Amino acid sequence: MKAFVVERYGGADTVRAGDVPDPQVGDHDVLVRIHAASVNPLDLKIRNGDLKVILPHRAPFVLGNDLAGTVVAVGARVTRFAVGDEVYAHPDQNRTGTFAELIAIHQDDVATKPTTLTMEEAASIPLVGLTAWQALVELADLRPGQKILIHAGAGGVGTIAIQLAKHLGASVATTASATKTDLVKDLGADVVIDYQKEAFETNLHDYDVVLDTVGGETLDRSLQVLKPGGTVISVAGPPDPTYARELGANPVIRLAIAALSFRIRRRARRHQVTYSFLFMKASGDQLRELTALIDAGIIRPVVDRVFDFEQTREALAHLEQGRTRAGKVVVRMK
């Protein structure tokens, strides 16, 4: 099958188009012919080798973390899907590779595609949708009447998180440039801070939750907007000891990971708040929850641009060079 392969960790020139063997289908796997896949910052981090300590890949490997497509074969013990089903998924971290014609995925990580979405729209959802769900529903347990700040509201995670937070009954503030104010308000944001002109930490106070998708200085400043007992959940900050335990890392790696987040965890304690790192996990069950919200019109995808499969390298460059206006970048098969 045709695929885009990372030959070695590095920059844009390490990704090439080529032929690779068709996937082997296990007893609990579904084989999906991919119609569309989306591009995520995670793909760039994996390609660059930024995550190789905690998420190693043996080169050459196929890149890609989101897909929508059609089931073309099922394993002997598959019970949830049949040939011909239209599905979408984020594969488990050990089975990435959606910039390809085919992929084999465990049935537990797959869900039926929302009927109201095209393949391209559906492919934009899994990674960012699962991230928003696991941050707001699982970690934050966001409740009606609470206040949440969602950074980069026009980004892939932000566009879904705003809608989900409003559905959960929260008051939502977000950061965005002035040109994207109308978009994030249309998605449900109650307060919009133009991060290019305003300091969000001087305008926002007594928030229950911050969802950080930026990291660095933005993460540090976010502690100031939380009330005592609040929590900041970051997908861009340093991993914490909880993640190390979930990863099953050896003691040396656990200590190294704990050291990475020691400073931000100490600062959080001084502010009487908590810091949590989120590395999203695959889940077909959670995708089914999102499917219901999408088909009910509660959550809608935001797609910035669609590239043809042959232009996958250009799609990666579009994201890497910051040319995305809002939402997700998608590649589609012909």
Q: Tens of pLDDT along 118-172? A: 999 999 999 999 999 999 999 999 999 999 999 999 999 999 999 999 999 999 9
Pair 173, 115 in one domain: no
For the cut 80, the answer to whether the pLDDT of residue 54 exceeds it is: no
Provide the number of structural domains found in the chain: 2
Q: What is the mean pLDDT of residues 17-36?
A: 97
Distance separating alpha carbons of residues 174 and 160, to the nearest angstrom: 12
Q: Within a domain: residue 21? A: yes
Q: Do 156 and 124 touch, CB atoms closer than 8 A?
A: yes
Pair 271, 157 in one domain: yes
CATH of the domain at 202: 3.40.50.720
For the cut 90, the answer to whether the pLDDT of residue 77 exceeds it is: yes
> Which whole-number Å values give the CA distances from 14 to 8, 46, 167, in the listed order?
6, 12, 42
Burial class (CB in 10 A: 0-12, 13-18, 19+), 330: buried
Q: Do 67 and 32 touch, CB atoms closer than 8 A?
A: yes
Q: Within a domain: residue 109? A: yes
Pair 74, 143 in one domain: no
Pair 104, 133 in one domain: no
Domain residues for the domain of 313 are: 2-125+301-332
Pair 266, 132 in one domain: yes
Pair 66, 204 in one domain: no
Give the SS3 label for residue 288: helix
pLDDT of residue 55: 79
For the cut 90, the answer to whether the pLDDT of residue 35 exceeds it is: yes
Pair 13, 38 in one domain: yes
